[in-house]
Amino acid sequence: MSKRKNAEGGSGAPAGGKGGRGGKKGPGPQTPKDAFVDNVRTLVYALAIALFIRTFLVQAFRIPSGSMEQTLLIGDFLLVDKITLGARVPGTNWRLPGFREPRRGDILVFKDPRTNRDFIKRCIGEGGETLKVVDNHVFIDGHELPEPYKHVGPGGGIDLSNFPYRSAARRDVKRWVQAERMQRGISPTTPLPDGYRIPDDRIFMMGDNRNNSADSREWGSLDKSRVVGRAFVLYWSSDPEHAPGWVRRMPENWVKGFFQLFLGRPRIRRLGTWLAHNYTDSYENALHAATTAPGNE
């Protein structure tokens, strides 16, 4: 009589192999070399992801000057959104498609046309509009712009309270304009221009701290291609005046920002301040009120 086959496979031993153990050996202990390679690989992946986020999605910046006070203070650390306006591809003139163009009221980080350094100001005028400033009041196409964010502090070295009539002192506006006209060969009897027409595809940038801001009133309108992104939130703020003296004396760079981040006095109440406000409705309401006022119907 033939022998009966075992239910597991017919040879009297379990299907898994000898003695019930699997045929494949499990992974052995990790060597120091393997651990090092894994750590390096993880670090490279993390750096690549961080670089991608910084280049195309969100970038962190620190405020080193007071040109945007009181909206932004020296020592504020903020995040800039690159998705809404479209991030620029490094090393090229290409930009990824954005959801919209820069608009009036946006706080923008951009490349300064004179030094190519990162600057931050507010977009005040758009291409095709006529802008002028009279005693620190901005007029767009003849209508005053409501600016709840504006701060008029003590003046700096140049009087910028009137534009396009810049001068070292307000009382010297007429003399300054006449001297400029002589240099440009313009007749002194030519009527003064009623504002500055912003070229198409460009924007006019101004700091909220109107008397202490080097902006489009000095170097002209900004090409949109120089925009880096739109500031949208403060993630940290520290008072640099309470940092150690050796930190305050450091030149403005990322190293100073790193030490200031941890050694300055925290401004806890400023954390999470939202910066990406939409002023479109207030601007349009002011324009509608101006055009429907008595005598303007």
How many angstroms separate the CA atoms of 286 and 288, rounded? 5
The two tokens of residue 36 are: 């090092």
Please, are residues 138 and 162 in contact by the beta-carbon 8 Å criterion? no
* Separation CA 136–CA 205 (nearest Å): 14
User: How many residues can be counted in the chain?
Assistant: 297
Determine the CATH number of domain 30-291.
2.10.109.10
Q: How many Å apart are CA 255 and CA 261, to the nearest integer?
A: 10
Give the residue numbers annotated as catalytic, written as ranges. 67, 121
Name residue 36's amino acid.
F
pLDDT (0 to 100) of residue 90: 85
Residue 290 near residue 144 (C-beta atoms within 8 A)? yes
Where does residue 176 rank: exposed (0-12), middle (13-18), buried (19+ CB within 10 A)? Answer: middle
* pLDDT of amino acid 140: 93
pLDDT tens, the chain, 297 aa long: 444 444 444 444 444 444 445 555 556 677 887 888 888 889 999 999 988 898 899 999 999 999 999 999 999 999 999 999 999 888 888 889 999 999 999 999 999 998 999 999 999 999 999 999 988 999 999 999 999 999 998 776 667 788 886 544 444 445 555 665 566 565 555 555 678 889 999 999 999 999 899 899 888 899 999 999 999 999 999 998 888 999 988 988 889 888 888 898 999 999 999 999 998 888 888 766 766 666 555
- Taking phi first (over 0 means left), then psi (-120 to 50 degrees means alpha), and beta for anything else, what does residue 91 get? left
pLDDT in the model for residue 167: 42
